[in-house]
Structure 1
Amino acid sequence: MKIFAHRGAAGTYPENTMVAFIEAKRSGADGIELDVQLSKDGIPVVIHDETLNRTTNGSGFVKDQTMGDMKKLNAGYKFGKQLGRRIPIPSLQEVFEWIQSTDLLCNIELKNGVYLYPGLEEKVIQLVRGYGLEERVILSSFNHYSLVYAWRLAPEIETAPLYRDGIYMPWVYASSIGSRGMHPSIHAVPDALIIDAMAYGIQVRPYTINGEEDIKRLLSINCSAIITDFPERAVRIRELNRSK
């Protein structure tokens, strides 16, 4: 079972920042999960919310700010003096420049459910190809039209639909839109569905798996992967499980 660090090690570090991604690697995670939108000047920027208000000391919509403007903000201000410095919002290109030197996988959530961000898929795919990361990147989204579009543009890059509610035979649905994986809320997939989906050849990576019992249960059925805010905890439990 692979472990993906949700927005980096978001349980202990500022989410979607380089410090969170670096901590995820240090903890032994197999991959990172991050969110991408477009800035006003069309740069893929790594941030979850459509606004800057929750995660930075700025305000307003991401789509209305240039990358240069957002670079002046502090994405770690809620951590106070713990980090001792300003933590910038990264661009996707910055993450790729770093991830090249690692063996990490990277799950990119295309955040185009509220705003469609024309050109987002093309720009992300261009970066993936430019850095030679086609075999290490998974594109996911709650906007499944976007995933089909991305699959048509780049069938070599894995896609995986995100969903919160129950889907009948979700492995058939995922396959029908060209996806090789699916990323359900843990509340939408009983163990039996995970097992059936994997038997069908679909990678199942539920989110957000933070509790020890959930991690152990998913390990016991050899779930493809989990997405967690606490990669260090998940890695520790996996190692203990292996040693038994």
Structure 2
Amino acid sequence: MKRPMIGAHTGSGISPDNTLASFMEGIRSGADIVEVDVHAAMDGTAVLLHDESPYLLTCTFEQLNRPDMRRRIDPAYEEHEIATLEQILQVSDRLGTKLNIDLKSAASIEPAVKLIRQYGARERVHITGYSETLTARFPDIPVMINTPVEVDPRQLEQYDKFAQRICEAAKREGYAGLNMNYRTCFEPIAETAHEYGLTVWVYTVNELSQMERFIRMGVDAITTRKPELLLSLLAP
């Protein structure tokens, strides 16, 4: 049975999501991949944040990172500075860590791609999230297509056709694979994707029974907030 890669969801430890501390916890968990969420500040700095904020449109990174502004964005940042994607790439460059860069906006695309190229990280990075136009504009960067987070019950009745359509589109548009909500990922789509030479990543899988199901299914990566639990399942 093929071993899937373990993806540590941002904030898979005790530190607040999308902080440098949470990234380091993801690395220490033993995961193969660490996920981070990326927005862009007004000055184009790629920063780690999950949610949209109006301050991104009006503040530079330096302004965002002031203690009073951090508290306005989220109280969790009171004791943690806003992390940048460049910091993450610097750390991962030293350690060889694979990254799932989940882009949250169109504004984050070019700053993220520039940094990936600057740090020679093409071989250890996959982009998920906001990926429209990416494969055409930057064919050298591996990108995963985000499949629908919900599947219409009528599509479930014709899931084989749904799987075929998604995989055909991904292959045609130059994606490396599918990034799927675990509620929509079933065996036919994994089989079809692999026939097309596409990888299948599922998120965010925290229950033991679901982890076991996706391991049996042969997906290529499982993103979880419990990487240690998944690691124990995969231990020889």
Q: Same fold (TM over 0.5)?
A: yes
Identity of aligned residues (%): 26
Task: Answer yes or no: is 1:226 the counterpart of 2:214.
Answer: no
Change (3 A) 1:12 1:211: farther
Among 7, 24, 46, which residue is 1:4 paired with?
7
- 2:93 is aligned to 100
Aligned residue in 2 for 1:200: 196
Bigger share in helix = 2
Q: Which residue of 1 aligns with 2:43?
A: 41
Provide Cα deviations, 1:23-57, integer angstroms capped at 9, x if missing partner: 11111000111111110111111111002xxxxxx
Gaps of 5+ in 1: 52-59, 80-84
Pair 1:129 & 2:113 matched: no
CA drift at 1:102: 1.2
Q: Which amino acid aligns with 1:110?
A: L
1:159-198 equivalence runs, <5 A: 159-163=143-147, 164-166=149-151, 167-169=162-164, 170-198=166-194
Q: Cα distance, 1:200 vs. partner? A: 2.2
Q: Distance in 2 between matches of 1:219 and 1:6?
A: 17
1:13–1:20 Cα contact (<8 Å) kept: yes
Match of 1:140 in 2: 128
CA RMSD of aligned residues (A): 2.1
Amino acid at match of 2:193: A
Is the Cα contact below 8 Å between 1:24 and 1:232 reproduced in 2?
no
Structure 2: gaps spanning 5 or more residues? 152-161
What is the alpha-carbon distance in structure 2 between the residues aligned to residue 156 and residue 198 of structure 1? 21
TM-score in terms of structure 2 length: 0.84
**Equivalent residue, structure 2, for 1:88:** 81
Matching residue within 157, 162, 167 for 2:141: 157
Measured in 1, the distance between the counterparts of 2:200 and 2:182 equals: 10
From 21, 24, 35, the counterpart of 1:22: 24
Secondary structure of residue in 2 paired with 1:183: strand
Residue-by-residue CA offset, 1:203-226 (whole Å, 9 max, x unaligned): 100111111111111112221001
Number of equivalences = 217
TM-score of the superposed pair, with normalisation by structure 1: 0.81
Aligned with residue 56 of structure 2, among 62, 86, 110: 62
Q: Which residue of 1 aligns with 2:158?
A: none
